[in-house]
Amino acid sequence: MTAGGSLPLTLRIAGRRVVVVGGGHVATRRTLSLLEAGADVVVISPAVTDSLASSIGRGDVDWIRRTYASGDLAGAWLVQTATDSHVDDLVAADAEAAQIWCLKGGDPEHATAWAPAVARVDDVMVAVSGGGDAGRAAALRDGVAAALQSGELPMRHRTHHPDGFVALVGGGPGDAGLLTTRGRRLLAEADVVVVDRLAPHGVIAELAADVEVVDVGKMPDHHPIPQHEINAILIDRAKQGKIVVRLKGGDPYVFGRGGEELIACRDAGIAVEVVPGVTSAISVAAAAGIPVTHRGVSRGFTVVTGHEELQQLPASRSHTIVMLMGVKRLAETFAELIAAGHDADTPAAIIERGYSPTQRVTVGTLSTLPAAAAAAGAESPAITIIGDVVTLSPAWT
């Protein structure tokens, strides 16, 4: 089959009679596709596969249990042949005479219609014709689908919906390669992106020029846009019928205030989707070669911020403590832990700018790390790990 003389179309087949001649595997696959599209399917064949028999048993498909006979196409809008060449030729000739489109299995050159390889990603349908080569069409279809799913191809609607929605997307520890596939796809659909300081800013450059980017980045001890105003931005843009992505560092629900944004949007009647992210509490430790749990070393961990009361944390060196934020209070925090009964010789590490080209790991103990971090000029963004797992890091000597 060549492209010449053909016109790509999408058929509204729901509620319309379609005849499938044959009961084998090709007929089964095509029948299931037709049922999914809502067609009234009639199968003509002396025998059928177990899968087709199940559909027939449920009443989804009408079965004429015999070989095809002229006149069986009465009332049909479309016919699929999937038998031997003699029967297929007869069906095709009858379809031509009745002006019914015919999908001729295994013989695209003599068909009047061709079924493309189809992929569906959200509300987008991609249909690929491979010039009669089904394997080629399927490979191309899979490639396009993968690019859509990963966000490499734009998925944006060019007209706004009556009801917009908000996606709270976890961006991971900062490396764009650690952003989830779902997160990338939503970014490719976004009309507005509201971005944090610690989100992977490299993906912003990939957005179309007309996508609105609102930077609400918060620095330590400096919040230029308070949380209630961020909530208002999300709600305002969504009520304009826009797709809004709230791109956050790490995971939206791990000290990311994602829960507050979810509640605010839902209270305003805005639909919300939450896309988990790779939290820096675990991933940045891993970047430094530190597992937060390890057999024979640590069987549990706690994630806290450096601003909280820490006296109640488990004092065992076999229980890992992960502290997010709190670099400025490192000396005070460690002094509080030691006063609360933590061993002053407990290994500890501070990891700055995890997964970036300038990542730096400084190690010590509860008693020595604050001075070592100060001498190195350690600053946010950074996380602190406390516990014997720190000794597994290549930085530990």
Closest by alpha carbon to 291, among 211, 387, 360, 214? 387
Dig out the tokens for 143 from the structure: 């490639």
Per-residue pLDDT reduced to its tens digit, 160-177: 666 789 999 999 988 888
- Return phi, psi of residue 207, to 5°: -75, 155
Per-residue pLDDT of the chain (397 residues; tens, 9 = 90+): 445 567 888 889 999 999 999 999 989 989 998 998 899 999 999 999 999 999 999 999 999 999 999 999 999 999 999 998 899 999 999 999 999 999 987 777 888 988 888 887 777 888 887 776 777 888 888 888 888 777 777 777 666 666 789 999 999 988 888 889 889 889 988 999 999 888 888 888 878 888 899 998 765 555 578 899 999 999 999 999 999 999 999 999 998 899 999 999 999 999 999 999 999 999 999 999 999 999 999 999 999 986 666 778 889 999 999 998 888 889 999 999 999 999 999 999 999 999 888 999 999 999 999 999 999 999 988 999 999 999 999 999 7
Taking the alpha carbons of 118, 119, 125, 129 in that order, is the dihedral positive or negative?
negative
Is 242 marked active-site? Answer: no
Conformation bin of residue 289: beta by default, left when phi > 0, alpha when psi is -120 to 50: left
At 166 the three-state DSSP class reads strand
Chain centroid, CA 352 distance in Å: 28
Tens of pLDDT along 311-339?
788 899 999 999 988 888 899 999 999 99
How does 377-392 read in b/e, with b if 16+ C-beta sit within 10 Å? ebebbbbbbbbbbbbe
Q: Which of 40, 196, 251, 388 is catalytic?
A: 196
Query: Within 13 Å, how many C-alpha atoms sit on residue 69's CB side?
Result: 4
Catalytic residue among 218, 239, 328, 343: 218
218 in active site: yes
